[in-house]
Amino acid sequence: MDKRLAELSWDAPLNFLGLPEGDAPSLEHAGVVMLPVPYEATVSYMGGTRFGPRRILEASRAIELYDHELDTEPYRVGVHTLPELLLTGAGPEAALAELRTAFDALLADGRFIIMLGGEHSISAPPIEAHAARLGNRRLSVLQLDAHGDLRAEYEGTPFSHACVMYRVHEAVTLVPVGIRAITAEERRLIREKEIPTIFAHELDPEEHWIERALEALGPDVYVTIDIDYFDPGLVPATGTPEPGGGTWYPTLRLLERVFAERNVVGADLVELAPLPGIVAPDFLAAKLAYKLVAYHQRARDAARRR
């Protein structure tokens, strides 16, 4: 590029954090990979989750690279943002199979993938892929969510967002947190299978629930965050907002400890359904995703020092 042009100020690319070329490694050299999956097919009350990944990336470009709570610059772990993965429109089963293919190809030792959704049904393939990689070790799944998502079938398909945790609940140790909307059938399943559920009204200010969650989790953990876990006062931008949800700092404290005290193998953040002209929920989601990067970085560094 012409030197005169190079001296001007050009906007950063639309990747996570808006990293200029020098700061964003290639996929091969990345420590963290952001995988946007704007998949929206099965129906909830309000739509729009397909716009979630885009809006998270846009907001991420305005958040500070420095994390003053941890006194680190987490992006230095090396963050690569993939293009949006467009799953087939041929139906949820085929779409999720494609996503499984993607994860099988992307997962590699030391590479940490954060998937940005899209609707919650897309969490099953990465969970299954991680569980498969662990072999005999049983994966735990920390599910931050307002809904149980434990239905066997919904709207004619077992691949609905309302079924995603049912699909994996036998194969993994499921730890739902923040739940405040379930069916009687889901309640029965929770009791029968003794799924260690922390309901939203149990999120006590003394934070005993954080201990409970940690105790329920095994050594290897996948974190799936349905953004509707948060109180709709903080995140109204979701399909079926349920009052009485999680808040910012306690949730960070939970996540910080899970990353510090467990081996977190992967994570996703789904169900943001952006509202036109209202960016606060986008910022919360973007900052939360960056916190996942930060906690992962610190855990990796701690592991290396051991």
**Binders of a copy of itself among 181-200, rule CB under 8 A?**
181-184, 187, 199
User: Counting contacts by CB under 8 A, is residue 302 touching a copy of itself?
Assistant: no
For residue 218, count CB atoms less than 10 angstroms from its CB and return exposed for 0-12, middle for 13-18, buried for 19 or more: middle
User: Counting contacts by CB under 8 A, is residue 2 touching a copy of itself?
Assistant: yes
User: Counting contacts by CB under 8 A, is residue 248 touching a copy of itself?
Assistant: yes
Whole-number Å distance between alpha carbons of 195 and 75: 36
For residue 100, count CB atoms less than 10 angstroms from its CB and return exposed for 0-12, middle for 13-18, buried for 19 or more: middle
117 CA to centre of own chain:
8
Whole-number Å distance between alpha carbons of 23 and 78: 7
Residue from 33, 116, 165, 275 touching a copy of itself (CB under 8 A): that is: 275
Nearer to a copy of itself, 162 or 221 (CB): 162
Query: Scanning residues 134 to 173, which ones bind a copy of itself (CB under 8 A)?
Result: 154-157, 159-160
Q: Closest distance between a copy of itself and the C-beta of residue 211, in Å?
A: 19
Phi and psi (nearest 5°) for 133?
Answer: -65, -30
User: Counting contacts by CB under 8 A, is residue 110 touching a copy of itself?
Assistant: no
Q: Closest distance between a copy of itself and the C-beta of residue 117, in Å?
A: 14
C-alpha torsion angle, residues 77, 78, 84, 85 (rounded to 10): -80
What is the dihedral sign for C-alpha 35, 39, 45, 47? positive
36 contacts 113 by C-beta, under 8 angstroms: no
Residue from 46, 97, 132, 171 touching a copy of itself (CB under 8 A): that is: 46
| Residue tagged 């907001």 (tokens) | 59
User: Counting contacts by CB under 8 A, is residue 69 touching a copy of itself?
Assistant: yes
User: Counting contacts by CB under 8 A, is residue 85 touching a copy of itself?
Assistant: yes
| 18 conformational bin, left if phi > 0, alpha if psi -120 to 50, beta if neither | left
Nearer to a copy of itself, 89 or 136 (CB): 89
Q: Of 78-86, 110-118, 125-133, 263-271, which segment contacts a copy of itself by CB under 8 A?
A: 78-86
21 CA to centre of own chain:
25
Nearer to a copy of itself, 83 or 135 (CB): 83
Residue from 89, 135, 194, 306 touching a copy of itself (CB under 8 A): that is: 89
Residue from 91, 208, 260, 301 touching a copy of itself (CB under 8 A): that is: 91
User: Counting contacts by CB under 8 A, is residue 217 touching a copy of itself?
Assistant: no
